[in-house]
Structure formats: C-alpha cells, structure tokens
RNA sequence: GGGCGGUUAGCUCAGUUGGUUUAGAGCAUCUCGUUUACACCGAGAGGGCCGGGGGUUCGAGUCCCUCACUGCCCACCA
C-alpha cells in the first residue's frame, strides 16, 4: 500500500468546502419541503474566532447538516452585527493612532471611516467560520446596519413609539465616561473590588458640633446638597431640621431623615449627592434637594465643582482627600470591599448620571415574552434555563430598556424635534409632514427640524434579527411566511437577557399585525421554536476564557494543528446542552497563557486517522466472486444490527440536543465495534474478500460517514468519495440520513457472549504471560446454552479467529490440565501445557462464588417480598427472575468447578 | 439579601418518569505487545460506602428533610 499512513486534513478541507460552495449545497430557497431554519447569531464585525464561537457554530452546523441529510430545507442565515460601542471604540482608536480626534470629524466623515473599517475587517470572522466547516447560506449574508436592515429597525422604532411603548425621559442612567455614552443596565458588569471608605466631618451650622459621614467618593463633596440620617437614629435626633456645612465649598445643606439610611453602616450618616448616585437621587427627590452636576461627559470635573476643575474623577478623589486632610475634616480612612460597576465594553467605572434618553417600556413586552416560554410555545434546552429567564422577566424585576446611545455608529434615532414637539417617523420627510400639520405651517423646512443625535442600542437591531434577515418588515413577506418562525436559536446563556428575551419580545410584538403594518406570522408568532443554550467555554481552572486573561488557546492554531474535524470533535464531545465546557488547553505555568493544545481535539484528530486507516484497509482488499462465509454473514448481520441501534441512539441524542452523546455513540461504535471487532473478523488473510461481504461492509461504512458527517464533515466527505465511484452530485453532504431497521436483539447478545469469551481467553493468557497467538483448545461444559451457541459453526470460527483457538468444543466434565473460568453463565475450560496452581484458582473462584451468593440473597429477598412481586411492573419482576436464574446458573457452574 | 443549580472513578461528565446482573463513558494511570489498516495502534488491568446525616418506599445515585461545600443569576452596598 503506497498511500500515507496518516490522514492530512489540510487540502481535504479546502477542496471539499469549495466543492460544497460550487454546488450551492448550503443554498436555501423556499419550496414545499419542511424548512429547518437557524438565524446565525451575528458575530460582532470586530470579532475574531474564539473558543466560544467554535462551540456554538459547530453545534449549529452539526444540527443544520443533519437536517439537510434528513431531507429538510436547511437554511442557515449568516451575518454580522455592527456592535456599535465595540466598533466605534475600535475606529476611534484607529483614528487616534493617526492623530485624529473623533471630535475633529463630522458625523458623516466619521461614519465613512467606520464603514471603511468594517469593509476591511468585518468579514474576517465569517471567513474563519468557513474554515471551521460552517455550511451557511452565504448568499443570504446580512449586516445589521445595511440599508435594508436599518430601514426595518427604524420601522420597528416608529411602531413601538406609536403604540406608546417608547418614551423619552430624564433618568439616572449608567454613563461610560470612556465611550461617552449611556449604557443599559445589562451592559454594566459588577464585581467586588477594594475601595477606601473615608470618614469626613460636616459641621452642624451654628454649632461647634460635627456629624461624621462615611463616603467612598470624597470628590463629589462639592455636589452635596444634603445630609441624611435614619429618622429613628437617636444619635442624630437632636440635629433634625438643622443644616450642615459642606466642607471645602462651605455650603449649608439641610439634614433630612430617610428610611433609606442604614444606621448600622459607617457612621449612620450619609452625604447626599443627587447628581452622582442613583440612591442619593431618590433621596434628593423625596426631600426636594438641589441637583448639582459637577462632572463632564468624560468623567472630569466641571466648573460647578469649584475645586479640582478639569481633573479626572479618579485624580480629583486623590486631590480631595489631600485637601480634606489639610483642613482637618478627614478623620479616618478604612479599606472595604464593595461591588463596582464597570462598562462591559470599555471596562471603565460606570458613572451614574442624570441624562435624557429613550426608553422602551417593558411591561407588556416582558409579560408576553415570559408567557411564550412558560406556556411552551418556545422550548428552552436545557429546560432549567427557564428559571433564569423568568427571574429576569417577572414584572417586579424587569426595568425599562434604555435604547439610546451617544454614539454615531448605529441607526440614528428617527425622532425630530421642533419647538418642544417630537416627531417620530421613518424618514425626515414624514417627520416634516407631521410637523407641518401639527404647526399648521406649510412653510416649515427640514432645516427647521433637529434630528436626535443619538443612535440605537445594538441589541435593538439584534432583537429584530429573526424577522429582519427575511426582510419581514418591508412588505413582501413571502420568505418570512416560509421560514418564520425559525426552528432553532443556538446561543450562549450569557446573552439570554441581552438578546434571546428581546428577540422573543420583538417576535411577538411585530407579528401581531394589530398595528397595521406588522407581518402576519403564518406558523406562529414566536421567532423560533427551540432555544439551545450552549455553555461557556472555560479553562482548566473554570475561568471563562477571555482575551485579557490570555487563558484561551488560539482557535486558528487549533484548526491548523488538529484539523477542523478534530477541533469540532473536541468541542462537541464535551458539549452537553447548557453545560459549561472545561476546555483542556493546558495553562503554561511560566507564561500563565494557554497552550494551543488540547487532548480533546487530539482525540478527534486521532479519530480521523482511524477512519482514514479503516478506509485504507477496505481499499486494499480485492473483491472476488465467491459466496460469503457463514462467519462473514453473521458478522455483517451483527454489524448492521449494531448500526441500527446506534442510529437510534444518535437520533434520540440529537432530539435532546445532547450532541456529546451523539458524537460519542458514533465514536464508540465506529472505533470499538466496526474497527476493533467487525473488521478484525472479516479481514481476509489473503486480501481477497467476497463481493457480497465487501458490499455490505462498504454500505455500512457509508452510512457511518453520513451519520458522522454532521460532526466531522470534511473527512467523511473525503472517504465517501473514496468508497466508490460517484456520479456528480452524489456527495455525503447531501446523502440521506440512515434509517434504523428492526434488529435481532438475540444476535446482539450472542455477540456480547462472544466478546466476553474472547476477553476471557485473552485475560487468561495475559495473567500467565502466554503468547497471544499460540493456539489453545477451549471447551465449554455442555449445557443448553453452550450447546446452542456452538451449534453455529460460524460462531466457533469467529471465536477461534479472535481468541486464537485450535478448537472450541463441548465437554461433559473438566478436562485434565485445564483452567476453568466463567463466560457469563457458562463454564469454560482452557487447556494449558503448564501446571496449574489449583489452590490459587480455587481461591479466586471461591471469592467469586461468595460474591454471587450475596448477590443472589439480595435478589431472592426482593422476589420473596409479596409487595415487590405485586407492586413492581411486570417487566421489572421478570428482569429480577432472569437475574436470579442467571446467578443460580453461575453459582451452579462454579460449584461444579470447585468439585 | 432573594432565587437557581451542582456535589458520582485521578480529571471531565452520563445516569431520561425510583427497579437493566450490588454504578457507566471518555480521558488519564499501570502492565504487556516491533500481529503487513492505523504505535496517531492493539490487548489486558486497577480505580467509586454516588458530599455527610436522617426520612419515605418492597426497593433510593434517582424522591423528601437537614447540614456542609461549591458555582451561577438578580438586587443592594454611603
């Protein structure tokens, strides 16, 4: 055989991927077949392939490929997300490197730069998905900010406004001073950090007494407009109604009493800074306190602060501490641990800030979305994820969604302002028309209106994705009627609230039709029927793999090293639905970075090699025109039975999204049963095999390729074509998912007996250091079972071949010079030349006998119990009876052996 | 503070309405093997009072209570 002994994935992968593209196999157009649709979670245009992607997109690809093999119209819609903050930050950084500030550019100029950036880098990740084998319909590739999608986003905005669910208001919001935009609550990540707690004294006006306040933010003292104590706190009762003098600024502010104050914390006295703390804002509102905002958008102090003007809040804190020390007002500094909110994108400490924003009322949307899953219109996998979903969406927890962002990269909010009036419309012209009508002034011009400067939160457009990728809001709903609702959404549970919940909200909201221009959902209003939550990919220390930790291996290097099939196997073999996967790339103790290695992926690569060599073996055989032997026939019968059994297991696993179970069933069947057992049985010594057996082998192997194709598309396609000459279009990717046939369970159990026998003989050889290939004689004690077993000559042939036996016969009693052992319930005797340590053998058998007797007592106790026999299901009782009989049989055999 | 999970072999995990030969897999470990598909392989072995305690039941890894440890979500944190 001249072909190489090892499989090389490189050219194979490239070649077949191109072949699939050339034949448009991933293309989907509506027809009369059942659709199987997944809207690909659009990766950020700033994204590069990481482990999380590999898990999620491999899972999707496996499901898509299976659906295609099952004859469904498989449609996987790809695309990218404009990722407003992330992308804008990248572009700003790039400009800065060129010495350009964002503020130097007009909005149009900036967007031009941003689109240029997107055109250059935005497609990289989709190309990487192709290397992974992802079979999406690339002709459908969409981008959340392309004109048609933006148009739909604006339409959605207008509809939500018209239905009264969108409103604009001044609220305490989360401000990212680095990106200089507001964030939604979900975009703020809290973690515990060490901070200082400063005790600062405030003089009670007109007295020499002081009230000491505990604060972590001394730099906001200049914005203090009150001091609060608990109404029942007797320490402070005498000060009720008085005022204190704020240090540094020497402003007199009222002492107020409020239940919010916890007398136990700090000194029990709280300085109130309504502009810079959400709770203080509430307290301030309740007591009519002034709001003094001393911060600029970038987090530096403004003129209202009087002190430290122009300093960043962090620097100002240091300055304030220094100054307060000088004045003697800082009494104490304590360390404590508290949670600090940071921007998910920029990691900058979030500043509470009173700003004017657009909010989406969640009341109705959340209730609908909650009911959809609760009532089973949408199924979560794993089902337990519903708990998390519910806790977020229940009315007492859900809060209105701030949808405006102070950015340029995104859909500009379609609201125009004129003389205190707001006009929301899809286009400026419509807004103008509204304004003319409202004001009764037909001379009003576009230039008289001012459009809102802000853009929409990225997730607002993402929420529309399952509808907008089919242009569902644009009038022609042909595609939508066919593909909507999509079959499945596959994504990580970490964006359940960001995205999944909101897609569900929008899905129901815009398919209701009651607003006039919503589309009519033919097959259900939900955006998808199932959600398959994948877990997080974590490192060996269970930390989430992140760029900053450097604990993630390089996905591209893994693909290079193990091949896409190997990596896919590695990702999926540990991916039960919803469970986090612990990826086994070792962390280098020196560098603390992940090595680009993985035993799981290597297992996948070795599996490829096994398949490659199994195929090589088959290719080396010469087919001859002779009748198959009985042994070949029985082996092939068994193989086909095991194949059917495996198909059943794989189908069940797929239905439950237990992809790891599916892939492992195939792995064990192909490696353990097909390669290690079946091929060894039928493998000819002279290289010649009967045509019939060959055909059956190839047919079975071919089905294995189809089954495995969803997980390992490249090597299976390669082998598919090596198995036989194929006409054009006869490709594994579009073959038929095999059907399980009824199989003979008895045959399977006879083979189990065979395997036990073979293993038993090998074990005897091992334990006595006998060469594996010296032929031995084996006898079975005559019994009904053993007689039946040996009556099939093929059985003897196979057993002899695998265990290297001279002969396999029945015996009435233990022959001389033989070693006795049990094969399931049967006594077997192996003739050995050497002398046998009778005492040691007896000891072993007696131990086993004792174990079996104990076991039997348990069974008989159960069977002797009337309540068991009466109460347990019939089959359970029958099983116990069989167990009893088998155990008795074994005990009988052992006792006979022991004499 | 409110809620949800987890705890099964050295590691990562299965164990589906309680009953499938007194617990399974993959990996790792140990022993042996230069067998012409594959040493990226083959053969064999060892390894678990199913976190502790209590209860329900004829029967519990599986249900209930309790304790311990652990992970996560939400809220709050002067």
Distance of alpha carbon A107 from the chain centroid:
37
Which residues have C-beta within 8 Å of that of residue A714, sequence separation ≥ 6? Answer: A9, A12, A13, A16, A17, A133, A563, A564, A565
Which runs of E-coded beta strand occur in A361-414?
Answer: 379-381, 401-402, 404-405
CA pair distance A705, A703, nearest whole angstrom: 5
Residues 379-398 of A with CB under 7 A from strand B: 384, 387-388, 391-392, 397
Q: Return the nearest residue to B16, CA–C1'.
A: A656
CA pair distance A274, A444, nearest whole angstrom: 40
Residues 241-300 of A with CB under 7 A from strand B: 260-271, 277-279
> Residue A519: its pLDDT value, please?
66
- As ranges, strand B nucleotides with an atom below 7 A of a protein CB are 2-5, 11-14, 19-22, 25-28, 31, 35-45, 57-59, 71, 73-78
- 3-state DSSP assignment of residue A417: strand
How far, in Å, is the CA of A10 from the C1' of nucleotide B30?
36
- Scanning every strand, the nucleotide with its C1' closest to A228's CA turns out to be B78
> Residue A514: its pLDDT value, please?
41
- 3-state DSSP assignment of residue A557: helix
- Scanning every strand, the nucleotide with its C1' closest to A857's CA turns out to be B22
- Scanning every strand, the nucleotide with its C1' closest to A215's CA turns out to be B78
Q: Is the CB of A887 less than 7 A from some atom of nucleic acid strand B?
A: yes
pLDDT (tens digit, 9 = 90+) per residue, A548-571? 788 899 999 999 999 999 999 999
Say how many CA atoms lie within 13 Å of A229 toward its Cβ.
23
- Scanning every strand, the nucleotide with its C1' closest to A214's CA turns out to be B78
The dihedral region occupied by A624, where left means phi > 0, alpha psi between -120 and 50, and beta the remainder, is beta
CA pair distance A291, A272, nearest whole angstrom: 10
**Does residue A666 have a cis bond before it (omega within 30 degrees)?**
no
Q: Is the CB of A5 less than 7 A from some atom of nucleic acid strand B?
A: yes
CA pair distance A184, A187, nearest whole angstrom: 5
How far, in Å, is the CA of A754 from the C1' of nucleotide B62?
33
> Residue A1: its pLDDT value, please?
45
Cα dist from A805 to A167, A750, A758, A777, A838, whole Å: 85, 18, 10, 6, 23
Report pTM.
0.94
CA pair distance A256, A233, nearest whole angstrom: 12
CA pair distance A563, A606, nearest whole angstrom: 10
Q: Return the nearest residue to B2, CA–C1'.
A: A391
Cα dist from A634 to A625, A628, A745, whole Å: 19, 10, 13
What is the sign, positive or negative, of the torsion defined by CA atoms of A120, A125, A129, A135?
negative
Q: Is the CB of A577 less than 7 A from some atom of nucleic acid strand B?
A: no
Which residues have C-beta within 8 Å of that of residue A786, sequence separation ≥ 6? Answer: A780, A810, A826
- Scanning every strand, the nucleotide with its C1' closest to A886's CA turns out to be B21
Taking alpha carbons only, the member of A788, A701, A714, A710 closest to residue A753 is A788
CA pair distance A410, A669, nearest whole angstrom: 51
Q: Is the CB of A115 less than 7 A from some atom of nucleic acid strand B?
A: no
Q: Is the CB of A349 less than 7 A from some atom of nucleic acid strand B?
A: no
- Scanning every strand, the nucleotide with its C1' closest to A855's CA turns out to be B22
- Scanning every strand, the nucleotide with its C1' closest to A265's CA turns out to be B78
> Residue A2: its pLDDT value, please?
55
The answer to whether A716 and A666 are in contact (CB under 8 A) is no
Show the low-confidence residues of chain A (pLDDT under 50): 1, 514-516
Which residues have C-beta within 8 Å of that of residue A12, sequence separation ≥ 6? Answer: A714, A715, A718
Tokens coding A365: 């949307």
Q: What percent of chain A has pLDDT over 70?
A: 98
Cα dist from A140 to A75, A76, A137, whole Å: 9, 9, 6
How far, in Å, is the CA of A575 from the C1' of nucleotide B27?
15
Residues 169-188 of A with CB under 7 A from strand B: 185-186
Tokens coding A444: 């009003």
> Residue A589: its pLDDT value, please?
83
How far, in Å, is the CA of A132 from the C1' of nucleotide B67?
48
Strand-pairing partners, residue A845, are none
Q: Return the nearest residue to B28, CA–C1'.
A: A599
Query: What is the ipTM, given to two decimal places?
Result: 0.96
- Scanning every strand, the nucleotide with its C1' closest to A759's CA turns out to be B44
Which residues have C-beta within 8 Å of that of residue A606, sequence separation ≥ 6? Answer: none
Mean of pLDDT over chain A: 93
End-to-end CA distance of chain A: 55
The answer to whether A344 and A619 are in contact (CB under 8 A) is no
CA pair distance A533, A99, nearest whole angstrom: 44
The burial class, CB within 10 Å (0-12 / 13-18 / 19+), for A665 is buried
Residues 842-861 of A with CB under 7 A from strand B: 851-852, 854-855, 858
Taking alpha carbons only, the member of A893, A898, A884 closest to residue A781 is A893
- Scanning every strand, the nucleotide with its C1' closest to A677's CA turns out to be B42
Taking alpha carbons only, the member of A819, A754, A826, A821 closest to residue A786 is A826
For chain A, how many residues are written? 899
Which residues have C-beta within 8 Å of that of residue A139, sequence separation ≥ 6? Answer: A27
């Amino acid at each position: 055989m001249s072909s190489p002994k090892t499989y090389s994935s490189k050219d194979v992968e490239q070649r077949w991927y191109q072949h699939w593209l050339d034949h448009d196999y991933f293309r989907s157009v509506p027809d009369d077949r059942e659709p199987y649709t997944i809207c690909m979670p659009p990766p950020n245009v700033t994204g590069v392939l990481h482990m999380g992607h590999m898990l999620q997109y491999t899972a999707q690809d496996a499901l898509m490929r299976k659906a295609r093999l099952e004859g469904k119209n498989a449609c996987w819609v790809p695309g990218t997300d404009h990722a407003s903050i992330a992308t804008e930050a990248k572009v700003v950084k790039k400009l800065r490197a060129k010495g350009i500030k964002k503020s130097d550019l007009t909005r149009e100029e900036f967007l031009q730069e941003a689109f240029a950036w997107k055109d250059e880098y935005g497609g990289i990740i989709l190309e990487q998905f192709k290397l992974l084998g992802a079979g999406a319909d690339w002709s459908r590739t969409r981008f959340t900010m392309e004109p048609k999608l933006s148009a739909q986003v604006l339409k959605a905005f207008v509809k939500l406004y018209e239905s009264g669910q969108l409103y604009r208001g001044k609220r305490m919001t989360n401000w990212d001073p680095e990106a200089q935009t507001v964030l939604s609550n979900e975009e703020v990540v809290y973690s515990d950090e060490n901070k200082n707690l400063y005790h600062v004294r405030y003089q009670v006006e007109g007295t020499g007494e002081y009230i000491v306040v505990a604060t972590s933010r001394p730099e906001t003292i200049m914005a203090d407009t009150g001091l609060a104590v608990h109404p029942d706190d007797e320490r402070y009762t005498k000060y009720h109604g008085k005022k204190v003098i704020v240090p540094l600024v020497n402003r007199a502010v009222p002492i107020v009493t409020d239940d919010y104050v916890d007398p136990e914390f700090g000194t029990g006295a709280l300085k109130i800074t309504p502009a810079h703390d959400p709770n203080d804002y509430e307290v301030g509102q309740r007591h009519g306190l002034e709001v003094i905002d001393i911060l600029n958008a970038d987090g530096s102090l403004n003129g209202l602060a009087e002190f430290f003007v122009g300093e960043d809040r962090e620097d100002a804190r240091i300055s304030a501490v220094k100054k307060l020390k000088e004045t003697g007002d800082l009494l104490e500094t304590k360390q404590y641990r508290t949670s600090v909110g940071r921007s998910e994108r920029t990691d900058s400490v979030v500043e509470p800030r009173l700003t004017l924003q657009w909010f989406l009322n969640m009341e109705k949307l959340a209730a609908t979305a909650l009911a959809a899953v609760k009532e089973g219109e949408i199924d979560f996998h794993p089902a337990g994820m519903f708990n998390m979903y519910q806790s977020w969406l229940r009315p007492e927890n859900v809060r209105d969604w701030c949808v405006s962002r102070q950015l340029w990269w995104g859909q500009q909010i379609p609201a125009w302002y004129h003389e205190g009036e707001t006009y929301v419309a899809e286009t400026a012209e419509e807004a103008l028309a509204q304004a003319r009508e409202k004001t009764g002034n037909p001379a009003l011009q576009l230039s008289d209106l001012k459009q809102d400067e802000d853009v929409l939160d990225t997730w607002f457009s993402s929420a529309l994705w399952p509808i907008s990728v089919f242009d569902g809001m644009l009038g022609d709903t042909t595609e939508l009627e066919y593909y909507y609702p999509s079959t499945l959404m596959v994504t990580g549970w970490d964006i359940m609230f960001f995205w999944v919940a909101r897609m569900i909200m929008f899905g129901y909201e815009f398919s209701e039709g009651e607003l006039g221009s919503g589309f009519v959902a033919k097959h259900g209003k939900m955006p998808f029927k199932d959600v398959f939550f994948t877990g997080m990919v974590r490192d060996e220390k269970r930390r989430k793999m992140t760029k900053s930790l450097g604990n993630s291996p390089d996905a591209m290097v893994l693909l290079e090293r193990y091949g896409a099939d190997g990596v896919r196997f590695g990702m999926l073999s540990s991916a039960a639905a919803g469970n986090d996967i612990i990826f086994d790339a070792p962390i280098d103790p020196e560098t603390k970075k992940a090595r680009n290695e993985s035993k799981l992926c290597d297992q996948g690569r070795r599996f490829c090699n096994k398949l490659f060599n199994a195929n090589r073996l088959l290719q080396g055989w010469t087919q001859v025109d002779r009748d198959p032997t009985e042994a070949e026939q029985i082996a092939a019968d068994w193989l086909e039975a095991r194949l059917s059994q495996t198909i059943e297991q794989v189908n069940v696993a797929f239905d439950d999204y237990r992809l790891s179970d599916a892939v492992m069933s195939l792995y064990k069947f192909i490696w353990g049963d097909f390669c290690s057992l079946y091929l060894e049985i039928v493998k000819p010594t002279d290289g010649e095999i009967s045509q019939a057996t060959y055909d059956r082998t190839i047919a079975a192997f071919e089905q294995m390729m189809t089954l495995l194709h969803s997980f390992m598309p490249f090597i299976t396609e390669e082998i598919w074509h090596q198995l036989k000459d194929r006409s054009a279009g006869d490709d594994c990717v579009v073959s038929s998912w095999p059907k399980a046939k009824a199989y003979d369970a008895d045959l399977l159990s006879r083979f189990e007996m065979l395997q036990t026998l073979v293993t038993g003989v090998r074990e005897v050889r091992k334990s006595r250091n006998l060469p594996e290939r010296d032929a031995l004689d084996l006898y079975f004690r005559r019994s009904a079972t053993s007689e039946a077993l040996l009556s099939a000559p093929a059985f003897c042939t196979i057993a002899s071949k695998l265990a290297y036996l001279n002969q396999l016969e029945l015996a009435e009693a233990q022959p001389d010079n033989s070693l006795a052992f049990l094969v399931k319930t049967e006594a077997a005797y192996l003739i050995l030349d050497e002398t046998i340590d009778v005492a040691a053998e007896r000891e072993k058998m007696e131990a086993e006998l004792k174990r079996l007797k104990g076991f039997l007592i348990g069974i008989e106790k159960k069977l002797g119990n009337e309540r068991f026999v009466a109460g347990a299901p019939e089959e359970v009782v029958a099983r116990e009876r069989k167990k009893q009989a088998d155990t008795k049989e074994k005990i009988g055999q052992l006792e006979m052996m022991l004499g």
